[in-house]
Amino acid sequence: MIDLTNMPASDIASGVQRGDLTAVEVAESYLQRIEKFDNEIMAFATVDREVVRAESAGQDHRLASGARLPLHGVPVGVKDIIDVAGLPTIAGFEPYRDRIAQRDADIVGALRSLGAVVLGKTHTTQFAVGDPAPTANPWNLSKSPAGSSAGSGAAVAARMAPITLGSQTAGSMLRPAAFNGVVGLKPTFGWFSLDGVFPLCWSLDHLGVYGATVDDVSLIYRSLTGAQRIPELSAPENPRIALLTEFLDMSDPEVADHTRAVASALETAGARIVETTIPEPFDYLFAVHQVIFAAEMSAVHSANLERYAEYYGPRIRTGVEAGSLIPAAYLLQAQRHRRALTRTFDRFLAGFDAVLLPTVSTEACDRDETGDRRFQIPATLLGAPAISLPTGLSSNTLPLGTQLVARRGADEQLLAIARWVSAAAPLVERPDLERVIQTSA
Amino acid sequence: MNRPQFAKSSTPSGRLTGGCSSPTLSWETLRKLREVVSAERYVLVKLHPKVTSTEIAAQLRTQAEEDYGADRVEHIAGQIEHLSEMMAEIARRELDLTDVPPDRSGIRDRDER
């Protein structure tokens, strides 16, 4: 059987639509790859092969009935805090092992109605916080795939799924994209419904999409938002891009050098690069995020922690306990500051087609941590769309990510700029997993 | 938890009189009682531009001891220190009193979006 796991999602959909491929063939290729490699990578928490086969056969049947759907036959991995009817939503929490979802989350139902096939549930850190997931980084098995969307990032890098869903409340979409060397999009706050998603912090939670290319995540974004009915935006000929220098100063030298090299390549390709700093101090944004995050997380989890303390990981447990100590006035004041910051940054971001910074301050860290979340937090706090592109490799052959952020609501513009950037600064290919596993043995 | 009842005034001799008819208390007993009360009492972390992270951390730690016990406090000490720094940063940055309300979207249900 032909290995279809290197095929872009858009080619899978068009191949199935034309009848060159069947959804069953595509799903079978991915199931075989999961079977072959997931004992090493541990990207998936749950895969029900018979359900996948039945669902893909159902999509072929819809095609035979005349339906031509934008995601016809595209397999999708779903982060295990997002409900998929009939599968457990474990969320990395042992007492939930048999907590079977009765219906699909909104986003899963939408993907299925667009022709996608759910492959399974991908591992997350416990409740999408900081205790590492069991997943290994497909570039180096001793390294972290980051978190919290560890399995979703690793599954795309390992070619176990062409598309996966993740979530971000601090840096959980973009950081796994950078560490695993894939494209990760976190749209504007509220763009994707959170109905059927286990909450972490109601005012900060975002859903997002991973893929191997900008075109693949753009296909999913445009299909989910209905934007496929309108022409795709093109980047301006000479996009105006801000390089945020304070983040270079906070990065490892190799990361800073890489980001400058990307900016230089973009300038050569015609971009107007403006070196600048953000309009308010980073420490201010970070503080506002951290207080809201801790207080909301505590509100979500305090009662459950009382009941299941022994099952909670040490990081989330201490976070919930400390967060419950925050006085109400501080939370309210943090929310006011968030609004004030959002106004300031809306004006700042409107001055550029996108701003550019490293996705993470370092290359992938060891597996007992999930990495530095600081650089992903501004876009989360401000609700602005952000995308991470795998623009290079470190001297240790680990991926380095470049982050682009645009003003709230300018998701289509961000995707157009990202497509332009990925042509000017080509993205790294996914790793040779067999070689990585042999090297690690 | 039952709180100790205080006498409302005291005499210079160090004997407490007044609001309660129970036996009078020495200054030393009163001091100890106040320690007990402050440990179990709500912690007030003022939202004031001059408050320091050290002051906030001390208050949060006291509250944590009450809520979780001394053993757990050792586990969450790092988080308390981190949050105290974040809270001090927020307190330090003043907003105009009448500007920028907090997010009020909590009054809307999902269906109303």
Query: Which DSSP string do the residues of A4-64 spell out, in sequence order?
Result: -TTS-HHHHHHHHHHTSS-HHHHHHHHHHHHHHHHHHH--EEE--HHHHHHHHHHHHHHHH
Facing residue for B79 by CB, picked from A195, A322, A340: A322
Residues of A in contact with B72 (CB under 8 A): 321
Provide the pLDDT confidence category of residue B102 given band limits of 50, 70 and 90.
confident
Q: What is the DSSP letter of A366?
A: B
This prediction has a pTM of: 0.91
Q: What is the SS3 assignment for A269?
A: coil
Q: Check CB contact of A294 with chain B, cutoff 8 Å.
A: yes
Give residue A1's pLDDT.
58
Both tokens assigned to A415: 């995707």
Question: How much is the pLDDT for B13?
Answer: 38
Neighbouring CB atoms inside 10 A of A355's CB total 27
Give residue A292's Cα distance to chain centre.
Answer: 21
What confidence tier does B33 reach under pLDDT thresholds 50, 70, 90? low
Find out whether B53 and B88 touch, Cβ atoms under 8 Å: yes
DSSP A295-314: HHHHHHHHHHHHHHGGGS-H
Contact A122, A160 (CB under 8 A): no
What is the pLDDT, as a whole number, of residue B32? 66
Which positions 21-40 of B are in contact with A (Cβ < 8 Å)? none
Per-residue pLDDT band at B26 (split at 50, 70, 90): confident
The confidence score (pLDDT) of residue B36 equals: 54
Residue B43 contacts residue B63 (beta carbons within 8 Å): yes
Distance from CA of B72 to the nearest CA of A (A): 9
| Type of residue at A294 | A
Task: Write the ipTM.
Answer: 0.95
Please give the interface size between A and B, counted as residue pairs whose CB atoms are below 8 Å apart.
88
pLDDT at B82 > cutoff 80 = yes
Task: Write out chain A residues lying below 8 Å of B47, CB-based.
Answer: 327, 329-330, 333
- Identify the DSSP state of A203: T
Give the H or E element holding residue B72.
Answer: helix B70-92
pLDDT recorded at residue B104 = 72
**Facing residue for A294 by CB, picked from B83, B85, B95:** B83
Q: Which residues of B touch A322 (CB under 8 A)?
A: 60, 64, 76, 79-80, 82-83
Is B85 part of the contact surface with chain A (CB cutoff 8 Å)? yes
For A342, the closest chain B residue by CA position comes to B100
pLDDT, averaged in runs of 10, over chain A (441 residues): 88 97 98 98 98 98 97 98 98 98 98 98 98 98 98 98 98 98 97 97 97 98 91 92 98 98 98 98 98 98 97 98 96 95 96 98 98 98 98 98 97 97 97 95 78
Please check the confidence at residue B12 and state whether its pLDDT lies above 70: no
pLDDT for the residue A228? 83
d(CA A414, CA A385): 7
Residues in chain A within 8 Å Cβ distance of B64: 321-322, 325
Whether the CB of B58 is below 8 Å from some CB of chain A: the reply is: no
Q: Cα(first)–Cα(last) distance of chain B, in Å? A: 43
CB atoms within 10 A of CB A65: 7
Q: Which residue among A190, A291, A325 sits closest to B86, beta carbon to beta carbon?
A: A291
Cβ atoms B87, B43 nearer than 8 A: no
Which pLDDT belongs to residue B109? 58
CA distance B64 to B74: 10
CA A92 – CA A253 distance, rounded (Å): 35
- pLDDT on residue B8: 39
B60/A286 Cβ within 8 A: no
- CB contact under 8 Å between A290 and B83, yes or no, is yes
* Interchain pair A326, B68: CB under 8 A: no
Please tell me if residue B47 touches chain A, with a CB cutoff of 8 Å: yes
Dihedral pair phi/psi, residue A190, rounded to 5°: 90, -5
The whole-number pLDDT of residue A85 equals: 98
Please name the residue ranges forming H helices in A187-327. Answer: 214-225, 245-249, 253-268, 282-308, 314-323
Contact A24, A4 (CB under 8 A): no
The C-alpha atoms of residue A392 and residue A216 are separated, in whole angstroms, by 19
Cα distance between residue B2 and residue B33, in whole Å: 12
Average pLDDT over residues B54-75: 95
Write out the two tokens for A282. 């980073």
Tell me what pLDDT residue B110 has: 56
Average pLDDT, chain B: 73
Look at B27-31, B86-90, B94-98 and tell me which has the smallest mean pLDDT: B27-31
Spatial separation of the C-alpha atoms in residues A104 and A50, rounded to whole Å: 18
Q: Sort out which chain B residues have CB atoms less than 8 A from A291's CB and list them.
A: 83, 86-87, 90
